[in-house]
């Protein structure tokens, strides 16, 4: 199962990388030949996409290393760390495009408008929109199937590039159609797109930081966990539930109460069934730790009457 997951992640990431390399070369050429600052900024964005593809390949490989003496919970946090690195790179790209766009707009106000972009830059932007949206769709599909935060993050990086290219296409197209006095639309488009990129980066960063800080799983997921445990015969209550995410996997720790007159083997069998049910629902790599304790009688633990 893990090997199948790894292959799916590597395959989708490599396909995304091939698209990024092709667009990277074409965008830089189109930006230079077409005299478009927005397209050059778009090319830099594609360069960051290529870098994040490499990060995903490296860190997902590390995150799938088996449990060892120094990592009792495995290496899943490498995948979360990859999401942090990608989001920081994405934030840096967004801030860079924003700053460059503001400078170009100010220069226009100061009487030095940018050169009118060429048609090749518009063609590059339209091609980028189509290819990057396609890359987003097949990457997000695999990311959700494999429950990989790094792949999902990378998918949004693809979409941010598509959004960037939409703004670029609008700016370049407007500058071409409306004439040289409207070339300021090129950097304005870059600024608008940069804000979308920054917003996406901050959202991804928050999710990854929450995982690194051991944030609990959502309330509805915890409620489902309790429901699964309490559906096991003899379980009267679940408490002290603690949950967290470890990369693409989750960890569950909780106390379950059962009748005090159950034998050790009986309580063990019930606990094993709960563990299997949780792993069936959330994945075989789910970490489950159960503490079994007797049901309280009149608010306190008491020995069964036949043992008193």
| CA-closest candidate to residue 281, choices 227, 208, 216 | 227
Q: How far apart are CA 211 and CA 288, in angstroms?
A: 18
Q: How far apart are CA 226 and CA 11, in angstroms?
A: 37
Last residue of a domain, one of 193, 212, 231: 212
What is the chain's pLDDT, residue by residue, as a tens digit (308 residues)?
566 777 888 888 888 888 888 988 998 898 888 877 778 777 877 777 777 777 767 766 666 666 667 765 666 677 777 778 878 887 887 888 788 888 888 888 888 877 777 889 889 889 989 998 999 999 999 988 887 777 887 788 788 778 778 877 887 888 888 877 787 877 787 787 778 778 878 887 887 887 777 788 889 999 999 999 999 999 988 999 999 887 767 889 999 999 888 889 999 999 999 999 999 888 877 889 999 999 877 777 766 665 54
Q: How far apart are CA 240 and CA 184, in angstroms?
A: 59
Sign of the Cα pseudo-torsion (161, 197, 206, 218, in order): negative
Only one residue has tokens 């999710």, namely: 207
What pLDDT shows up at residue 276? 94
Q: How far apart are CA 41 and CA 28, in angstroms?
A: 9
What pLDDT shows up at residue 87? 82
Under 8 Å between Cβ of 88 and 48: no
Q: Which two tokens stand for residue 240?
A: 């002290």
The Cα angle at residue 117 between residues 115 and 123, in degrees rounded to 5: 170
What pLDDT shows up at residue 136? 93
What pLDDT shows up at residue 242? 93
Between the alpha carbon of residue 47 and those of residues 24, 44, 84, the distances in Å are: 6, 5, 18
Three-state secondary-structure class, residue 245: strand
- Tally of structural domains, the chain: 2
Is the domain of 50 the same as that of 157?
A: yes
What pLDDT shows up at residue 75? 64
Is the domain of 183 the same as that of 266?
A: no
Is the domain of 36 the same as that of 109?
A: yes
What pLDDT shows up at residue 12? 87
The Cα angle at residue 72 between residues 70 and 75, in degrees rounded to 5: 80
The Cα angle at residue 147 between residues 146 and 149, in degrees rounded to 5: 120
**Model confidence, pTM:** 0.62
What pLDDT shows up at residue 307? 55
Last residue of a domain, one of 187, 212, 237: 212
Is the domain of 206 the same as that of 240?
A: no
| CA-closest candidate to residue 273, choices 246, 234, 245 | 234
Is the domain of 208 the same as that of 295?
A: no
| CB environment 8-29: b (16+ within 10 A), e (fewer) | bbeebbebbbebbeebbebbbe
Could you tell me the end-to-end alpha-carbon distance of the chain, in angstroms, rounded to an integer? 50
Question: Nearest 5°: phi and psi at 86?
Answer: -65, -45
Three-state secondary-structure class, residue 236: coil
Q: How far apart are CA 114 and CA 102, in angstroms?
A: 12
The residue segments making up the domain with residue 32 are 2-212
Is the domain of 126 the same as that of 264?
A: no
Last residue of a domain, one of 157, 185, 212: 212
What pLDDT shows up at residue 274? 96
Q: How far apart are CA 57 and CA 10, in angstroms?
A: 6
Under 8 Å between Cβ of 157 and 28: no
Q: How far apart are CA 18 and CA 135, in angstroms?
A: 10
| CA-closest candidate to residue 251, choices 61, 80, 57 | 80
Is the domain of 100 the same as that of 9?
A: yes
Query: At 115, which CATH number?
Result: 1.20.1510.10
Under 8 Å between Cβ of 97 and 190: yes
């Amino acid at each position: 199962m893990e090997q199948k997951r790894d292959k799916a992640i590597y395959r989708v990431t490599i396909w995304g990388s091939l698209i990024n390399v092709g667009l990277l070369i074409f965008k830089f050429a189109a930006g230079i030949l077409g005299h478009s600052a927005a397209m050059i900024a778009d090319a830099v964005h594609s360069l960051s996409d290529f870098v994040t593809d490499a990060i995903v390949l490296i860190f997902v490989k590390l995150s799938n290393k088996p449990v060892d003496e120094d990592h009792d919970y495995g290496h899943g946090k490498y995948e979360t760390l990859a999401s942090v690195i990608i989001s920081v790179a994405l934030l840096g790209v967004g801030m860079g495009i924003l700053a460059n766009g503001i400078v170009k707009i100010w220069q226009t106000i100061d009487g030095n408008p940018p050169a009118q972009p060429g048609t090749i830059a518009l063609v590059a932007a339209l091609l980028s929109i189509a290819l990057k949206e396609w890359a987003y769709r097949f990457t997000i599909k695999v990311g959700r199937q494999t429950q990989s935060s790094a792949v999902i993050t990378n998918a949004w990086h693809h979409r941010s590039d598509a959004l960037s290219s939409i703004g670029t296409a609008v700016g370049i197209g407007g500058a071409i159609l409306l004439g040289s006095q409207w070339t300021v639309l090129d950097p304005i488009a870059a600024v608008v797109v940069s804000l979308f990129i920054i917003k996406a980066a901050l959202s991804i960063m928050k999710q990854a930081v929450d995982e690194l800080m051991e944030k609990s799983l959502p309330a509805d997921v915890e409620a489902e966990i309790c429901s699964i445990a309490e559906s096991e015969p003899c379980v009267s209550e679940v408490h002290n539930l603690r949950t967290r995410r470890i990369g693409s996997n989750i960890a569950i720790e909780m106390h379950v109460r059962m009748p005090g007159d159950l034998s050790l083997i009986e309580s063990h069998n019930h606990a094993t069934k709960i563990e299997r049910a949780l792993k069936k629902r959330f994945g075989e790599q789910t970490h489950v730790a159960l503490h079994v304790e007797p049901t309280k009688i009149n608010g306190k633990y008491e020995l069964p009457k036949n043992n008193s």
